[in-house]
Structure 1
Amino acid sequence: MDILEILGYFGALLIGVVLGLIGGGGSILTVPVLVYLMAINPVTATAYSLFVVGTSALVGALRNIPKNLIDFRTAIVFAIPAFIAVYLTRLYLVPAIPEEIFSVGGFTVTKNIGIMLFFAIIMVVASISMIREKENGRNTEVKKVSYNYPLIILEGSLVGLLTGIVGAGGGFLIIPALVILAKLPMKKAVATSLLIIAFKSLIGFIGDVQNLEIDWVFLLIFTGISVAGIFLGVYLNNFINGKRLKKGFGWFVLLMGIYIILKEIL
């Protein structure tokens, strides 16, 4: 086992710790850890990421069920179009992307480079939302949940498409959608988003099982370490300011996103 592989398994633990500490964001690290530290092909890495993210989010969701923080009706309304979109994306769209997408001035954008560049852009967008997030008093009280069905279905489909391409959970898109479109309080939105992320990620992964050869031993070890990290993160949450940590993590994700863009282009 070389130093990069050791760092990769440490990265798996870090993914879980971040999820346990701030309730999201850890999934954005999964693909870079798998690609740059574990030397896994980007297409396979996005598939593995769906399994890691889905399993980790499911553990988090199960922890929230006894606390009555999950709105199951909202989860179902949002998740059905997301399930369909992520499954079809992994089964048909990702395999259909050509190995050479386009060439500009002698620089060829391959399928692997294209996926990593798109993922890096998503990282930058996610990091900005984490850095700019402000504490406010809106939507902290329990309100009557209402449903804007057309917009929820559209948002669910878009999040499913995004998840299918880059293998990230999409919590930074799901949580605002649940708050704005379903009028959920923030705590319920975060808990409900974990259940949505879990099922749409795992269903998306099923689309990959039919197309890719899965190294189950490695995947289960990596996922197990990540899940252990969640419990460590939950414990550390008692001693660390979550808001400050989220902003600090946002800056880290921003720098990593810029690094990936420069690395893939240069």
Structure 2
Amino acid sequence: MEYLGYFASIIIGLSLGLIGGGGSILTIPILVYLFKVDPELATSYSLFIVGATSLFGGYSHYKLGNLNLKTAIYFALPSIVSILIIREVIFPQIASTLFTVASYAVSKNLLIMIVFSILMIAAALSMIKDKNMIVNNPKTNFSQLALIGFLVGIVTGFLGAGGGFLIIPALLFFANLPMKQAVGTSLLIIFINSAIGFAGDLYIGTPVDYTFLLEISCIAFIGLLIGVQLSKKIDGNKLKPIFGWFVLLMGVYIITKELFF
């Protein structure tokens, strides 16, 4: 299973490089099911892997002229606030066992995986239905952009998900960015969010296997380089429905496995 996990790690970077998101949607299931990492710890590991990969991806898109720094800052600063609130204040207070129904215990880890699977299904349906987005408002709405940044931070904080599948539409509709700039800017925001979340986890003493994290990050980085090069030739919008169906199947698998097996 570990060999399959290493191979699947390439797809994390490939997704980030091509469509500016989706990496974290894959990272958690890969860590939990293929590498047998505890779900709570997997949210921390996901922040490192996706963050490190996004940093290199953001730099690659910066060299291509696909990065809007001002927009990234307006989006990322509110995200940082909500990430720190969730991971450093709320998340540690959640009990390992939330409640018991008959003889069935609902654990914190189960909650993480169920919420994550629901998020995967919602994101998948969005990608499947998504057509080329047409922006009607020529001006950047920074107040709405900041609000969405705060909400994305909540998702990042609780699930260790970069939130690229939420960031991309926000950048298209509220920042009026073309698709390629939205992808590049999304990667920078994902890096900032992930780095802050992971640093907070280190502060509260989360145990980290850096050798393992660097191995996965390097493999994901290879996938990202491939994805960035392919993004020059392939329209990311055309790939989203295909990726969406893949994510949908994974989401359904996770929720079925956690509840019934």
**TM-score, length-normalised on structure 2?**
0.92
**Distance in 2 between residues matched to 1:82 and 1:60, nearest whole Å:** 20
Instruction: Check 1:173–1:205 CA distance in 2 against 1; reply closer, same or farther (3 A cut).
Output: same
1:225 is matched with 219
> Matches of residues 1-266 of structure 1 in structure 2 within 5 Å?
4-136=1-133, 138-139=134-135, 145-149=139-143, 151-210=144-203, 211-237=205-231, 242-266=236-260
Q: Partners in 2 of 1:47 and 1:160 — Cα distance?
A: 14
Distance 1:239 1:173 in 2: 24
1:12, distance to aligned residue in structure 2 (A): 1.2
SS in 1 for 2:62: helix
Q: CA deviation at 1:236?
A: 4.6
- 1:245 & 1:148 partners in 2: Cα distance? 29
Count of paired positions: 259
Q: Take 1:101 and 1:40, find their aligned partners in 2: how far apart are those partners?
A: 20
Superposed CA deviations along residues 87-107 of structure 1, whole A, max 9, x for unmatched, are 232222221111111223432
How far the C-alpha of 1:181 sits from its partner, in A, is 2.3
Following superposition, the deviation at residue 39 of structure 1 comes to: 0.6
Shift of 1:62: 0.5
Offset at residue 184 of structure 1 (A):
2.6
In 2: Cα distance, 1:58 partner to 1:16 partner: 11
- Contact 2:60/2:228 (CA < 8 Å) preserved in 1? no
- 8 Å contact kept, 1:35–1:45: yes
User: 1: distance between equivalents of 2:22 and 2:160?
Assistant: 13
Residue 231 of structure 1, CA deviation: 1.2
Matched to 1:214, the amino acid is: V
Secondary structure, counterpart of 1:122 in structure 2: helix
Distance 1:20 1:258 in 2: 25
Moved more, 8-17 or 42-51: 8-17
Alignment CA distance shift 1:75-1:235 (3 Å): closer
SS at match of 1:213: coil
Which SS does the other structure have where 1:98 is aligned? coil
SS in 2 for 1:68: coil
Aligned residues of 1:87 and 1:205 also touching (Cα < 8 A): no
Q: Write the deviation string for residues 22-72 of structure 1: whole angstroms up to 9, x where unpaired.
A: 332122100000000101000110100001111111111101212332221
**Structure 1: runs of 5 or more not aligned:** none
Q: Is the 8 A contact 2:53 2:220 kept in 1?
A: yes
The CA RMSD over aligned residues, in Å, is 2.0
